[in-house]
C-alpha cells in the first residue's frame, strides 16, 4: 500500500513539473493584441526554384503551433526527397507535376514489367536496354498532382516533387510543430535524403552560418559502401559534397519514372479493404471542383472542406483544410473555429479581413492579398469580404474535423438564442432582436452591399 502511495505521489509530482515546465516555455503564447498579414522571412535559392519559409517565431504562428513553407519549382525542376518530424498538409496553389512518397516498410508497388515482354519493349524498357535484359525499376507510388490538390504526409515519410509542366509548380505546406507526433522542439527541421541547403537552416538559432547537408553526408564513405554494396567512389557521390545545386535541381533529359495514367484517363476504382492499409492509403484530394463544394452559390462563390471523413489519413495527422473562392463584394459571415487554429493563405485576389480576439478587441483590420499568410487562433472571430474580382484562399486547420460556429445567419449562435435573451443582453427591443435573429437567412456566404432586407424575414433561397 505504501509502495502504491509513493508511486501515485511521484506521478502527481511529475505531472505538476511537466505542466510547470511547459507553462514556463510557452507563457501566454496566445495573448495576441495584434495580428499581421505575414510574408516569407527566409528564401532558400536552388538551381531550379526556391523555398520560402515564414518565421515560425512570429507570435501568431507560435500560438497556432505551426510553421509555413512555400515551394516554387520551375519547369523540369525536381524537389529532392526529404522528410520532416512533423505532420504536413500541402496544397498545390499553381501548376502540375508528379509526387512520390516513400512510406517506411511498404513494398514497391509500381513496377516496370517491360522485362517480361518479348524483346523488352515498353515505355520504360526502351530507355534501359543498355543496362541489360534483366533490369527493371521498382518503386513506391507516384501520383499526378495539379492545382487544387491537397496532400497529407505523415512524419518521417520521404517525399519528392517533379514539375512536368511549362509553368512554375507552387506548393504551400503547413507543418504541425505542436503535434503529439513531433518529439523534437518547435522548429521546422527538414531532413534531406539528397541534395543540400548551402544557406543553412537560417530560421534556427545557432544554425544560421552552417550549410545543411543531406543525412548520408554524416556517415563515412566506407560505411555507406558496405551498407549499399557499392564502391567508395559512388558512396562519396551520394554525399553531394561538391554539389551546390540546392534541394531543387533541374533534370537534364527525359524523366522516366513509372507513373499511372492521368486521373481523367483512369477507370473509376471501387474502394476495398486494401485502401485501409497505411501503404495504400489515399493521401490526396482536390478542392478546386465547385461541383463537390459544401457551400455553392453561383453569384457569390463556393467553399469546400476536407476532413478525416473525406480523407481518412487526416485522422492520424489531426489536420484538415478549407478551400474558399468568392466573388467581389461577397462576404463570408462572421465565424470562429470551435476546436482548431487556422492558417489562411491567399492564392488569388484580395479581401478585407477583420479578426476579433477573446478580449473583444479587433486584432486585425486590413487587406490580405495573394501570397500573404494570416493565422487565426482558435475562438477568434473572423469575417472576410472580397475586394477584387475574385478572392481565393486555402485554410489549414489543426484538427482532423475542424468545426466552425457562425455569429450571423440561419445556423448561427444568435439564431439559436431566445428573443428574450437577445433583447435583454443587448438592451434592444423585441422587434430589433427579431431582425437581428432572422434578417440574415444565409448560412455561410452573403452579399456585403448592405442590409439585404428590413422588417419581415426574407424567404430562404437555395
Residue 219, domain CATH: 2.60.120.10
Q: What is the pLDDT of residue 9?
A: 56
What separation in angstroms does the CA of 181 have from each of 26, 185, 279? 19, 11, 19
Q: Which burial class, exposed, middle or buried, applies to 205 when counting CB atoms under 10 A from its CB (0-12, 13-18, 19+)? A: exposed
Is 230 in the same domain as 336?
no
Q: Which residues, 6 or more positions from 176, have their beta carbon under 8 angstroms from its beta carbon?
A: 65, 66, 86, 87, 88, 89, 182, 317, 318, 319, 398
Q: Which residues, 6 or more positions from 329, have their beta carbon under 8 angstroms from its beta carbon?
A: 385, 386, 447, 448, 449
Of 101-105, 183-187, 212-216, 410-414, where does mean pLDDT reach its minimum?
101-105
Is 196 in the same domain as 64?
yes
Q: Is 208 in a helix, a strand, or coil?
A: coil
Residue with cell 500560438: 63
Beta strands in 96-223 (DSSP E): 96-102, 110-111, 138-139, 142-146, 149-153, 158-162, 169-176, 191-192, 196-197, 212-213
Q: What is the pLDDT of residue 118?
A: 40
Give the structural domain span for 410.
284-447
Could you read off the pLDDT of 218-234 as tens digits, one per residue?
999 999 999 999 999 99
Q: What is the pLDDT of residue 18?
A: 43
Classify 360 in phi/psi space as left (phi over 0), alpha (psi -120 to 50) or beta: left
Residue 145 has pLDDT above 80, yes or no: yes
Mean pLDDT of all residues in 6-31: 52
Mean pLDDT of all residues in 261-273: 51
Q: What is the pLDDT of residue 462?
A: 33
- CA distance linking residue 100 with residue 157, whole number of Å: 10
Is 289 in the same domain as 246?
no
Is 171 in the same domain as 293?
no
Q: Which residues, 6 or more positions from 442, have their beta carbon under 8 angstroms from its beta carbon?
A: 333, 409, 410, 461
Residue 396 lies in a domain: yes
Q: Is 364 in a helix, a strand, or coil?
A: strand
pLDDT confidence of 383, banded at 50, 70, 90? very high
Is 291 in the same domain as 178?
no
Mean pLDDT of all residues in 169-183: 94
Residue 265 lies in a domain: no
Residue 55 lies in a domain: yes
Q: Which helix (H) or strand (E) holds 50?
A: strand 49-53
Average pLDDT, rounded, for the chain: 84
Is 345 in the same domain as 289?
yes
Is 205 in the same domain as 352?
no
Give how many domains the chain has, as a whole number: 2
Q: What is the pLDDT of residue 103?
A: 81
Is 293 in the same domain as 240?
no
Residue 278 lies in a domain: no
- CA distance linking residue 309 with residue 168, whole number of Å: 32
Could you read off the pLDDT of 82-135 as tens digits, one per residue?
999 999 999 999 999 999 988 877 766 655 555 434 444 444 444 444 444 455
| Partners of 143 in beta bridges | 99
Amino acid at each position: 500500500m505504501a509502495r502504491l502511495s509513493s508511486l501515485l505521489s511521484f506521478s502527481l509530482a511529475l505531472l505538476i513539473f511537466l505542466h510547470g515546465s511547459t507553462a514556463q516555455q510557452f507563457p501566454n503564447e496566445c495573448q495576441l493584441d495584434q495580428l499581421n498579414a505575414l510574408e516569407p522571412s527566409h528564401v532558400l535559392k536552388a538551381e531550379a526554384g526556391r523555398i520560402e519559409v515564414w518565421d515560425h517565431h512570429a507570435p501568431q504562428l507560435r500560438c497556432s503551433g505551426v510553421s509555413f513553407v512555400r515551394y516554387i519549382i520551375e519547369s523540369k525542376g525536381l524537389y529532392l526527397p526529404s522528410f520532416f518530424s512533423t505532420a504536413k498538409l500541402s496544397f498545390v496553389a499553381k501548376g502540375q507535376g508528379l509526387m512520390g512518397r516513400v512510406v517506411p516498410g511498404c513494398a514497391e508497388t509500381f513496377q516496370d514489367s517491360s522485362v517480361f515482354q518479348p524483346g523488352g519493349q515498353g515505355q520504360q524498357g526502351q530507355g534501359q536496354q543498355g543496362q541489360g535484359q534483366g533490369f527493371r525499376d521498382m518503386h513506391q507510388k507516384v501520383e499526378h498532382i495539379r492545382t487544387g490538390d491537397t496532400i497529407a504526409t505523415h512524419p518521417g515519410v520521404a517525399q519528392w516533387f517533379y514539375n512536368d509542366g511549362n509553368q512554375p509548380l507552387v506548393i504551400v505546406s503547413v507543418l504541425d510543430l505542436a503535434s503529439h507526433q513531433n518529439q523534437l522542439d518547435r522548429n521546422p527541421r527538414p531532413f534531406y535524403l539528397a541534395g543540400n541547403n548551402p544557406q543553412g537552416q537560417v530560421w534556427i538559432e545557432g544554425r544560421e552560418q552552417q550549410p545543411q547537408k543531406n543525412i548520408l553526408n554524416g556517415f563515412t564513405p566506407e560505411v555507406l559502401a558496405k551498407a549499399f554494396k557499392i564502391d567508395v567512389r559512388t558512396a562519396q557521390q551520394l554525399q553531394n559534397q561538391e554539389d551546390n545545386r540546392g534541394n531543387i535541381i533541374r533534370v537534364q533529359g527525359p524523366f522516366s519514372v513509372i507513373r499511372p495514367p492521368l486521373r481523367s484517363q483512369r477507370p473509376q476504382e471501387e474502394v476495398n479493404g486494401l485502401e485501409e492499409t497505411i501503404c495504400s492509403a489515399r493521401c490526396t484530394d482536390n478542392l478546386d471542383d465547385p461541383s463537390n463544394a459544401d457551400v455553392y452559390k453561383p453569384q457569390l462563390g463556393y467553399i469546400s472542406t476536407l476532413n478525416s471523413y473525406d480523407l481518412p489519413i487526416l485522422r492520424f495527422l489531426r489536420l484538415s483544410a478549407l478551400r474558399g473562392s468568392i466573388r467581389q463584394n461577397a462576404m463570408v459571415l462572421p465565424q470562429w473555429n470551435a476546436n482548431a487554429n487556422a492558417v489562411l493563405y491567399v492564392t488569388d485576389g484580395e479581401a478585407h479581413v477583420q479578426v476579433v480576439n477573446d478580449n473583444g478587441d479587433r486584432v486585425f483590420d486590413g487587406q490580405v492579398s495573394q501570397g500573404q499568410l494570416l493565422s487565426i487562433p482558435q475562438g477568434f472571430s473572423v469575417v472576410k469580404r472580397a475586394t477584387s474580382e475574385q478572392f481565393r484562399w486555402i485554410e489549414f486547420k489543426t484538427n482532423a474535423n475542424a468545426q466552425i460556429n457562425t455569429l450571423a445567419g440561419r445556423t448561427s449562435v444568435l439564431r439559436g438564442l431566445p428573443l428574450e435573451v437577445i433583447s435583454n443582453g443587448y438592451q434592444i427591443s423585441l422587434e430589433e432582436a427579431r431582425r437581428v435573429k432572422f434578417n440574415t437567412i444565409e448560412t455561410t456566404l452573403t452579399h456585403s452591399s448592405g442590409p439585404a432586407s428590413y422588417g419581415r424575414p426574407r424567404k430562404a433561397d437555395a
